[in-house]
Amino acid sequence: MRRVIIGTATCGVAAGAQRVLARALTLAEGGGLEVVEAGCVGVCYDEPLVEYINDLGERRLYGKVTPPLLDRILAQGDEPDPALARHLIRVNDGPDRDGVFAHQARIVLRRCGIVDPGSIDAYLEADGFKALEKALGMDPQAVIQTVLDSGLRGRGGGGFPTGRKWGFTAAQPSPHKYVICNADEGDPGAFMDRSVLEGDPFAVLEGMIICGWAVGADKGVIYCRAEYPKALVRLDAAIKQARARGYLGEDILGSGLSFDVYVKEGAGAFVCGEETALIASIEGKRGMPRFRPPFPAVSGLHGKPTNINNVETLANIPWIIQNGAAAYAAMGTEKSKGTKVFALAGRIKRGGLVEVPMGMSIRQLVEEVGGGVPEGHTFKAVQMGGPSGGCIPATMADLPIDYEHITQTGAIMGSGGVVVMDDSTCMVDVARYFLSFTQAESCGKCTFCRLGTKRMLEILERITEGKGKHGDVERLLALGQQIQSASLCGLGQTAANPVLTTIKYFREEYDAHIHDHRCPAKSCASLVIYRIAEENCTGCTLCAKACPVDAIEGERKIAHVIDEQACIRCGKCVTVCPTGVVMKL
């Protein structure tokens, strides 16, 4: 039977996948066509995505599919329609049109966009729960040793060895323990966890159950932010099906393991990504970090030993158990094993989700996998690690991506968000943006984090408005270092990273803003002057009509002039000018 697999993850829905799905369901009413919903295969820039499997079993993946285009895809039979060639991404598992998959090694994402995330039968057909069956036949300590030997490190930011973390919890004598999946993904530009939960929720559950067996836990909690409605729906369905099939509950698969999972919805506080704040939120308290020790492995949720891993970490576990520690350790670098999922966003041609071996260079990730920055611009920097990360300049783009090298730059690996910037990006404004996020998300418990980030933000806002003062950079450095050393949790300790790294690598941009009252990227509105190249102006009047304050004068077919005093620097004149004669100075 012919089949169409439609990507209905959040990115697909935003691009119009629901309309394509509705059309497919209508066409399937006559029989002979199976319609399957799936998650995101990672090619977010080409959504909506449809994979068509013909009667011969040949698979063709198409991008930017509309309902009329779907009709043509299904009408082509076993022979491909040449008119659809520009939409064709790849055939079967062959090379893809853009080379996005060529450099990938998909472990966490191996089922995403391919298998129906709402069907436990589809998961079982794709070798689901085989790792659990194998783990239940092993001694719990042997499971921990396998994870330790694999070299898997926490994919949530800190990079702590996962096997060691499991060992700490397993060593506690308590009869009741917890496993928590941290799905509180809050970094701007990051969508790794969301995509995995939407595309392969059973893998995360399987990883949690294996962890429960290894550390001796009887309960699991998935802490997922309420802003992920589709992920929550698919998680709920997966938990119910797993429970009905005996993979959750009492005496799982006759092993004697009793383990169940429930979902706790978070309200979207960034600080709840920190372990102790997350635990407080689950307990119904205000999400605020506490002093450690004791660490959660000793006294966590409800005072019981608790192991916490993020979505990507847990999704790696079934593959490691099934394929062995050596297979996983064979990928990556000496100290950073395996693969890493990255969300590519910002000024990049092929934004989306990719999974690559540790050790790939930043340049390869941006230019070869992501397609580089838009035409006419040059690659300038990447922001890694989210708002708590840092900016790494293009001059360091040949640096391998692993925990050690990224940390040496002043940034952090984080959960895997990569925001790409080109020469149109103002680095001072980037620092202001990320600091505004962390300042707003500070829980307020620590004075240095609460007030220090506020003072830093005020200075950055003043600089981007052209009101910078001599000594502002030195004030930012001093405040940043004080906040780092005096804050209780990871949010405060890393909040200043975007500022400190942009000063370190782009100090000349700060100096230009403060001393020359100029934004080199021509991005900060208060420091930009708009002028019309009168000798080339055709007098089309479009700019004058678009100006909200009537700051542009000129008759039709006569060169126009901008009144710089009246101009509010909204940039609409640049947007509407058909000949590109409006200049930003």
**Over the stretch 211-261, which tens digit does the pLDDT of each residue have?**
999 999 999 999 999 999 999 999 999 999 999 999 999 999 999 999 999
Q: Which residues pair with 38 in a beta bridge?
A: 7
Task: Label residue 469 exposed, middle or buried (CB < 10 Å: 0-12, 13-18, 19+).
Answer: exposed
Side chain identity at 156, as an amino acid letter? Answer: G
**Among all chains, which residue has been given the structure tokens 């940039």?**
571
pLDDT, position 414: 81
**Over the stretch 314-325, which tens digit does the pLDDT of each residue have?**
999 999 999 999
Q: Identify the band that residue 463 occupies on the pLDDT scale cut at 50, 70 and 90.
A: very high
Domain 339-422, CATH = 3.10.20.600
**Residue 263, helix vs strand vs coil:** strand
Task: Give the helix/strand (H/E) hosting 181.
Answer: strand 178-183
* Annotation: CATH topology of 120-328: Rossmann fold (3.40.50)
Q: Identify the band that residue 585 occupies on the pLDDT scale cut at 50, 70 and 90.
A: confident
Q: HSE-up of 352 (CA within 13 Å, CB side)?
A: 29
Identify the DSSP state of 394. Answer: G
Are the CB atoms for 96 and 89 separated by under 8 Å?
yes
Q: Which two tokens stand for residue 545?
A: 């009509």
Distances (CA, A) of 340 to 143, 372, 448, 486: 22, 19, 33, 31
Q: How far apart are CA 247 and CA 239, in angstroms?
A: 9
**Residue 266, helix vs strand vs coil:** strand
Q: Which two tokens stand for residue 36?
A: 């399957």
CATH 1.10.10.10 fits 427-515, yes or no: no
pTM for this model (two decimals): 0.92
Q: How far apart are CA 552 and CA 561, in angstroms?
A: 6
Q: HSE-up of 546 (CA within 13 Å, CB side)?
A: 16
Whether the predicted pLDDT of 157 surpasses 80: no
Domain 529-584, CATH = 3.30.70.20
**Over the stretch 441-458, which tens digit does the pLDDT of each residue have?**
888 888 889 999 999 999
Q: Which residues pair with 390 in a beta bridge?
A: 384
Cis peptide before 293 (omega within 30 of 0): yes
Domain boundaries, the chain: 2-91, 120-328, 339-422, 427-515, 529-584
Q: HSE-up of 250 (CA within 13 Å, CB side)?
A: 0
Q: How far apart are CA 495 and CA 64, in angstroms?
A: 38
Q: Which of 186, 277, 195 is nearest to 225 (CA)?
A: 186
Are the CB atoms for 280 and 290 separated by under 8 Å?
yes
Please state which of the four CATH numbers 2.60.210.10, 3.40.50.300, 3.40.30.10, 3.40.640.10 is assigned to the domain occupying 2-91: 3.40.30.10
